[in-house]
Amino acid sequence: MTDETIAAIATPPGRGGIAVVRVSGTQAHALATRMTGVVLRPRVATSATIADERGAAIDRGLVLFFRAPRSYTGEDVVEFHVHGAPVVARDVVRALVALGARVAQPGEFTRRAFLNGKLDLHAAAAVADLIDAESRSQARAALANLGGGLAVAVRAVRARLASLLEELAGSIDFPEEVPEPDRTRVRAGLATLRADLDTLLHDGEVGRLVRDGIGVAIVGPPNAGKSSLLNALLGEERAIVSEIAGTTRDTIEESIAIDGVLVRLIDTAGIRAHADRLERAGIERSRSALEAARLALVVIDGSRPLDDEARALLTLTASRDRVVICNKADLGDAGAREVDVSDKIVGSVRDADTLDAIRRAIARIGWGGVRPDLERPHLASLREFDAVAAARDALSRADETIARGDALDFIAGELQHAFAALGHVTGDVAEEEYLDGVFARFCIGK
């Protein structure tokens, strides 16, 4: 714990009804008393004139005192609610600094909350997610993480690992007295632990989808009906549709929600070999969009026999996640019959059933078709993913070690590795550097 008292404006920059300045640390109460000259009772809003270090009035506002440990940071915290002119809040901070506080680093309040045991590391990171949330589902997902449920689950796995380790340690240290634990039983235990970690990783993956959404590129030869598909899924005439091949010249991105998952649809220029310079530039963009997308909707004109362009595109996308849409079924199926892939949808983007089938296919291939449960806490950052994946891999190696009949020391080593890796998620193991990474993306004042 640190002695320094920190201060920062907690509300966004710019004019507003009120602005909040927050101070945390051992000096917080003394500074606030000095600046207001009133007696501050914990958790009672007191109206006061707030003066600077020389006694000159800055503003009249509300002062709120939270006595440690019953505060956000777990330290003494004072909030000044002042009139929302940027200069007023800045003057309050300036006065606090003149009297001995220091300006807080981004995320420092939450970091202190974590260090003082007010929330686990996973929940602390969720604070930043909640602040950054741009959609309602992102906010709900972050809120689920704030509750600390994930840390409970991870700590339960760690506890089981710890007792397993203890058991092994007994017979490693006293091989004569303590018999080796039954290897089959240990393996069964490891299998359940691994399954738990797999569930965490899977749920995390779903949570990540909710947060980031998935990119879906609509690609195909010119005139196949790609822009028509974009418009139909959007329910509005967003992209220009025409019978002229090469209508779309640049990528167009729009988002829709399918089962609560944000789907970023990217309409692209039709890909063909012979194109003028401008069109070629568009086609380059189509290719990059295709590469970057999680999923490709490959649209071809299914009514006519396949041309070289359609064939080339089917080959190009064969080994990636894709949905082949044989469009224009109302005009015929000569091309559709030639398409020899299991996951093809034959129909028309003008037809509601076809659109339904396409939405279902996006959900199935994009996120396994299961509607994400936003209320369940989940792994949120790449850091957490890496930590849990490292733990799971260590458990797999431990299992192989047992299966080979190796000495117990090796198994214990892997289990310790897993134990430490999981500690990063909860914050039970957290080096300064690691914390710096977690809190770097916070804003000042949080």
Ligand X SMILES: Nc1nc2c(ncn2[C@@H]2O[C@H](COP(=O)(O)OP(=O)(O)OP(=O)(O)O)[C@@H](O)[C@H]2O)c(=O)[nH]1
The residues binding ligand X (CB under 6 A) are 220, 222-228, 241-243, 245-248, 269-270, 327-328, 330-331, 348-350
* All residues at 6 or more sequence positions from 301 whose CB lies less than 8 Å from its CB, including other chains: 221, 223, 224, 225, 310, 327, 328, 335
CA separation, residue 259 to residues 58, 213, 374, 379 (Å): 51, 11, 11, 20
DSSP 362-424: HHHHHHTTPPP-TTS----SHHHHHHHHHHHHHHHHHHHHHHHT--HHHHHHHHHHHHHHHHH
Binding mask 232-261 toward Mg ion (x if CB under 5 A, else -) reads ---------------xx-------------
| Residue from 149, 226, 154, 213 nearest 363 by CA | 213
CB of 353 to ligand X, least distance (A): 12
Q: Whose structure tokens read 């897993």?
A: 418
| Residue from 429, 391, 440, 445 nearest 125 by CA | 440
CB of 276 to ligand X, least distance (A): 13
Q: Which is nearer to ligand X, 95 or 241 (CB)?
A: 241
Q: CB under 5 to 8 A by kind: which of Mg ion, ligand X, none does 225 bind?
A: ligand X
Q: CB under 5 to 8 A by kind: which of Mg ion, ligand X, none does 74 bind?
A: none
CB of 289 to Mg ion, least distance (A): 13
Q: Which is nearer to ligand X, 193 or 224 (CB)?
A: 224
Beta bridge partners of 262: 257
CB of 242 to ligand X, least distance (A): 5
Using an 8 Å Cβ cutoff, are 34 and 50 in contact?
Answer: no
Q: Which is nearer to Mg ion, 10 or 230 (CB)?
A: 230
Using an 8 Å Cβ cutoff, are 359 and 258 in contact?
Answer: yes
| Residue from 268, 259, 330 nearest 299 by CA | 268
CB of 261 to ligand X, least distance (A): 24
Q: Which amino acid is at 245?
A: A
Q: Which is nearer to Mg ion, 229 or 415 (CB)?
A: 229
Q: CB under 5 to 8 A by kind: which of ligand X, Mg ion, none does 103 bind?
A: none
Q: CB under 5 to 8 A by kind: which of Mg ion, ligand X, none does 71 bind?
A: none
Using an 8 Å Cβ cutoff, are 421 and 394 in contact?
Answer: yes
CB atoms within 10 A of CB 395: 24
Please tell me whether residue 311 adopts helix, strand or coil conformation: helix
| Residue from 99, 109, 103, 120 nearest 51 by CA | 99
Q: Which is nearer to ligand X, 243 or 433 (CB)?
A: 243
Q: Is the peptide bond before 179 cis (omega within 30 degrees of 0)?
A: no
Q: Which is nearer to Mg ion, 204 or 282 (CB)?
A: 282
Q: CB under 5 to 8 A by kind: which of ligand X, Mg ion, none does 61 bind?
A: none
Q: Which is nearer to Mg ion, 194 or 226 (CB)?
A: 226
Q: Which is nearer to Mg ion, 2 or 288 (CB)?
A: 288
Q: Which is nearer to ligand X, 122 or 328 (CB)?
A: 328
286 near Mg ion, rule: CB under 5 A:
no
Q: CB under 5 to 8 A by kind: which of Mg ion, ligand X, none does 228 bind?
A: ligand X
Say how many residues touch Mg ion, by CB under 5 A: 4
Q: Whose structure tokens read 């051992």?
A: 26
Residue nearest to ligand X (CB): 270
Measured distance CA(129)–CA(209) in Å, rounded: 14
CB of 270 to ligand X, least distance (A): 3
CB of 247 to ligand X, least distance (A): 4
CB of 239 to Mg ion, least distance (A): 6
Map the footprint of Mg ion across residues 208-227, applying CB under 5 A.
226-227
CB of 309 to ligand X, least distance (A): 10
| Residue from 377, 418, 436, 342 nearest 190 by CA | 418
Q: Which is nearer to ligand X, 5 or 228 (CB)?
A: 228
CB of 252 to ligand X, least distance (A): 10
Phi and psi at residue 144, to the nearest 5°: -60, -35
Residues that bind Mg ion (CB under 5 A): 226-227, 247-248
